[in-house]
Amino acid sequence: MRSFLLKRLASAIITLWLLASIVFLVVNVLPGNVGRKVLGPFAPESEVIKYNARLGTDRTLLAQYFTSIKRVFTLDFGTSYQFGTSVKGIIFPALLRSGKLALLAFVITIPISIAAGVYAARRQDKLSDRVIVNAGLASSSIPEFVTAAVLMSVFAVNFGIGEVYANPPAGTSLLGQLQYLMLPAMAMVVAYFGYIARMTRAGVIGALASDYARTATMKGMSKGQVMWRHVLRNALAPTITVISVQIGYLIGGIIGVEKVFNYAGLGSTMLTAVGSKDVPVLQGAVLLVGLVYMISTLLADLLIAYLNPRVRLETKR
């Protein structure tokens, strides 16, 4: 287990370095004046020079590259162009707020979609299975902001359920905040339900057809016992991977939902940064999301290794 952990950590650090390099490359992909590109051809030259000086883009590329790599590992993302304060102080609280929304969405999505996936797998090719598979296919292909806008017009405006503005007033209790976060969370649930449910279904169908499931049934275990003790343990590995991969995408999709519901999370922060050409904040936010993604996939791999000894032992060989 320890060698597995070390190996996995080393690869995470390499990925993190590449991640920072990609983000650096995106900003500097075209040679030339960053300030001019960001501010456009009509900005006065003095503004462009000021922008480059504040961003540090008037230094050599190599010096800039080292700074940006250092930033990822020290979690210091520099200074916001628009506010003049540290990027860290802006994006961390925003990430926490987005995290709250994402967590609520996940807490609702995971049990529902795993249950639906198991149910569909046990009734394979029957009507209820078809409904779950096709509804999942349709719902996961609609962009989150579209679902959010539709949910808002149907529930918040027509039925008065939930709130149009998702920011709870200061001092609202945790339970009171649910009222505000419900609709945006539902938009995320719609988007992620289908994917996790389909993945679970495929895993369970595969595991049910396996030799060990047959053996367990033949030695007289009940259907429920076979499901709990043998099938789910094996079938959930791909699902756990999918869930962890989804955390990165979840934060990607959350931007649209936050915009629709005017929620002050990482998404809104990024959109303000786009509007005011605040590249350091954008860079920091992208890196931070990458970091969150890496941690979640790392945890998922550990969880899978814990559930399935074969994975742990394989790395030893």
Judged by the rule CB under 8 A, the positions of this chain that interact with another protein are 14-15, 18-19, 21-23, 26-27, 29-30, 34, 37-38, 40, 137-138, 140-146, 149-150, 152-153, 156-158, 164, 191, 195, 198-199, 202, 238, 241-242, 245-246, 248-249, 251-253, 255-256, 259-260, 270-271, 274-275, 277, 279, 282-283, 285-286, 289-290, 293-294, 297
| DSSP-derived 3-state class of residue 21 | helix
| Six token digits for residue 15 | 């990925």
Instruction: Identify which of residues 67 and 217 has a Cβ nearer to another protein in the complex.
Output: 67
DSSP characters over 34-97: HHHHHH-TTS-HHHHHHHHHHHTTTS-HHHHHHHHHHHHHHT---B-TTT-SBHHHHHHHHHHH
Instruction: Identify which of residues 168 and 238 has a Cβ nearer to another protein in the complex.
Output: 238
d(CA 275, CA 298): 34
Residue 23 Cβ vs another protein, minimum distance, rounded to whole Å: 7
Residue 268 Cβ vs another protein, minimum distance, rounded to whole Å: 11
Q: Which residues pair with 86 in a beta bridge?
A: 79
Instruction: Identify which of residues 72 and 118 has a Cβ nearer to another protein in the complex.
Output: 72
Residue 245 Cβ vs another protein, minimum distance, rounded to whole Å: 7
Residue 153 Cβ vs another protein, minimum distance, rounded to whole Å: 4
d(CA 226, CA 204): 11
Q: Identify the sign of the CA torsion 81, 82, 85, 87.
A: negative
Nearest to 202 by CA among 132, 249, 144: 132
Residue 173 Cβ vs another protein, minimum distance, rounded to whole Å: 25
Residue 220 Cβ vs another protein, minimum distance, rounded to whole Å: 33
Instruction: Identify which of residues 190 and 226 has a Cβ nearer to another protein in the complex.
Output: 190
Instruction: Identify which of residues 79 and 246 has a Cβ nearer to another protein in the complex.
Output: 246
Instruction: Identify which of residues 79 and 216 has a Cβ nearer to another protein in the complex.
Output: 79
Residue 147 Cβ vs another protein, minimum distance, rounded to whole Å: 8
Instruction: Identify which of residues 61 and 222 has a Cβ nearer to another protein in the complex.
Output: 61
d(CA 123, CA 117): 10
CB 199 within 8 A of CB 114: no
Farthest-apart Cα atoms in the chain, separation: 81
Rounded to 5 degrees, what are φ and ψ at 265?
Answer: -105, -160
Nearest to 102 by CA among 283, 304, 255, 271: 255
Residue 16 Cβ vs another protein, minimum distance, rounded to whole Å: 8
Instruction: Identify which of residues 158 and 173 has a Cβ nearer to another protein in the complex.
Output: 158
Q: b/e for 122-161, b at 16 or more Cβ within 10 A?
A: beeeeeebeebbeebeebbeeebbebbbebbeebbeeeee
